[in-house]
Amino acid sequence: MEHIVIIGNGISGVTAARHIRKLSDKRITIISAETEYFFSRTALMYVYMGHMKIEHTQPYENWFWRKNRIELKKGFVKQVKDASKELVFASGETMKYDKLIIATGSKPNKFGWPGQDLDGVMGMYHKQDLENLEKYAPNNKVCKRAVIVGGGLIGIELAEMLQSRDIPVTFLVRETSFWNGVLPAGESAMINEHIKEHHIDLRLGVNLQEIKADEHGKVKSIIIKETGEEIECTVVGLTAGVSPNIDFLKDSNIELGRGVKVNRRLETNVKDIYAIGDCAEQHEAIGNRRPIEAVWYTGRMMGETLAQTICGNPRDYNPGHWFNSAKFLDIEYQTYGWVFGERGRPAYEQHFHWKHPDKHICITVAFHKETKEFLGINTFGIRMRHHAFDKWLNEKRSVEYVLEHLADANFDPEFYKLHEKTIVAQFNQENNTNIQLKKKSWKRIFSY
């Protein structure tokens, strides 16, 4: 029986394993050095915040794996011997494979800051980071202040985590406005405001100079590069992005870039070795996507796709329309299709922005200046229906069509105040159009 070995028990590896099991009877082994069982990495924050225990973050009960004949192996792979199709563990053990899937995910970036390896400096990615945080920042008596370096999605999550235990947070963001490499200006400004509203000390347009230690080798303070200001703190969170976790492959024959180089079939240059998820790097970016996509959903999709290939239905990784979501403290964010921030926005992309006069609710609709084709939408504080936008993007609908049917896409809970009317009215006013909002139709919703 063919033995499929998967290194990494995150969403990519586990999805691949589950789908291979659905499609075949192959022997499957998942290896992880991090935890015995699969857990949802995106939920780690909630464990520290006390919303859940670690077992609640495990999507499958512990019996699931044996029942589905998926073997779990705890261990750290230090070498891949592709010639003999063999893995070598840090413990010295070895394991044979017939096909190998590398799904080792990411690790937090460190940019060579002085003091970046001190006690009390941590990322927020692995379960071990959570344990570290629990050790250095159990409450606001032990941790007087935390400084977070890097204004991305993990950074704001870490800020929210620390804030849940009333630990004062200083948040250093390199950009002039939060996440404005991705978000259009209006949305980014709204998030800035919301961060400050939560009494998080947000510092925009600053970089970390160095982290200073006390006499025990523990974090004492940080220095801001631009101003030279020293901020005393007990914990430093490094959340300046992630990069593929592939150091163990350096001596192998597998072609590496920043990640493990793969083609559209998710195959590496070595036969029978594949890479999926955060650690995989496409030779050429797909559409507007980045060559490395460190996103939950893309990891899952690669797992689904690769399972088909491995089980005899070779498929290209061919993701559908881009979508993503996040939550910035209390503000939910969803995106469908492409809406660019200031940076990298194509010349043809025009935006329509609507914001609620006093609540943290807004949307940005991107469309083609000339053809009026709908390109994408960002929503903040309003939930929207994935199926609707996916279909409209498939059908290359116009922005007018989308706005006309916007009521179909609303996914807020019942009794929420609806904003479609004011949104359409503002669009009509700004664009001299006469779009009439259609009533929500179940018939159409089912066809999405």
- Binding map of other proteins across residues 155-184, x = CB under 8 A, - = no contact: ---------xx-------------------
Q: Which of 176, 227, 394, 422 binds other proteins (CB under 8 A)?
A: 394
Does the protein bind other proteins through residue 386 (CB under 8 A)?
yes
Q: CA-CA distance, 385 to 411, in Å (whole number)?
A: 5
Q: Which of 36, 66, 416, 422 binds other proteins (CB under 8 A)?
A: 416
Closer by beta carbon to other proteins, 57 or else 252: 57
Beta strands, E only, 123-200: 146-149, 169-173
Q: Which of 93, 117, 131, 197 binds other proteins (CB under 8 A)?
A: 197
Residues 370-386: b if buried by 16+ CB within 10 A, e if exposed: eebbbbbbbbbbbebbb
Q: Which of 390, 426, 431, 433 binds other proteins (CB under 8 A)?
A: 390
Half-sphere exposure of 140 (CA within 13 A, CB side): 10
Contacts of 86 (CB under 8 A, 6+ apart): 80, 94, 95, 96, 97
Q: Where are the alpha helices (DSSP H) in 279-419?
A: 296-310, 386-394, 399-404, 406-409
Q: Which stretch binds other proteins (CB under 8 A): 39-47, 80-88, 266-274, 340-348?
A: 39-47
The nearest distance, CB 270 to other proteins, in angstroms, is 24
441: helix, strand or coil:
coil
Of the candidates 365, 364, 343, the one whose C-alpha atom is nearest the C-alpha of residue 288 is 343
Q: Which of 125, 317, 338, 367 binds other proteins (CB under 8 A)?
A: 317
The nearest distance, CB 367 to other proteins, in angstroms, is 21
Contacts of 73 (CB under 8 A, 6+ apart): 29, 30, 31, 32, 95
CA distances in angstroms from 360 to 157, 193, 382, listed in the order given: 18, 9, 10
Please state whether 301 falls in left (phi above 0), alpha (psi between -120 and 50) or beta: alpha
Cβ 322 vs Cβ 34: under 8 Å: no
The nearest distance, CB 84 to other proteins, in angstroms, is 34
Closer by beta carbon to other proteins, 50 or else 112: 50
- Binding map of other proteins across residues 236-275, x = CB under 8 A, - = no contact: ----------------------------------------
362: helix, strand or coil:
strand
The nearest distance, CB 308 to other proteins, in angstroms, is 7
Q: CA-CA distance, 355 to 184, in Å (whole number)?
A: 13
Closer by beta carbon to other proteins, 157 or else 175: 157
Does the protein bind other proteins through residue 413 (CB under 8 A)?
yes
Please state whether 49 falls in left (phi above 0), alpha (psi between -120 and 50) or beta: alpha
The nearest distance, CB 80 to other proteins, in angstroms, is 28
Q: Are strands 77-81 and 86-89 parallel, antiparallel or unpaired?
A: antiparallel
Neighbours of 198 (CB within 10 A): 15
Does the protein bind other proteins through residue 213 (CB under 8 A)?
no
| Footprint of other proteins on 40-59 (CB under 8 A) | 40, 42-43, 46-47, 49-53, 56-59
- Binding map of other proteins across residues 321-360, x = CB under 8 A, - = no contact: x-x-xxx-xx-x-x--------------------------
Closer by beta carbon to other proteins, 89 or else 297: 297
The nearest distance, CB 188 to other proteins, in angstroms, is 19
Closer by beta carbon to other proteins, 162 or else 424: 162
| Footprint of other proteins on 423-442 (CB under 8 A) | 442
Instruction: Find how far residue 413's CA is from the centre of its chain.
Output: 25
The nearest distance, CB 411 to other proteins, in angstroms, is 5
Closer by beta carbon to other proteins, 27 or else 385: 385
Cβ 341 vs Cβ 182: under 8 Å: yes
Q: CA-CA distance, 66 to 59, in Å (whole number)?
A: 15
DSSP assignment letter at 119? B
Cβ 266 vs Cβ 305: under 8 Å: yes
- Binding map of other proteins across residues 268-307, x = CB under 8 A, - = no contact: ----------------------------xx--xx--xx--
Binding site for other proteins (CB under 8 A): 11, 40, 42-43, 46-47, 49-53, 56-59, 61, 164-165, 197-198, 296-297, 300-301, 304-305, 308, 313, 315-321, 323, 325-327, 329-330, 332, 334, 383-387, 390, 394, 411-417, 442, 445-446
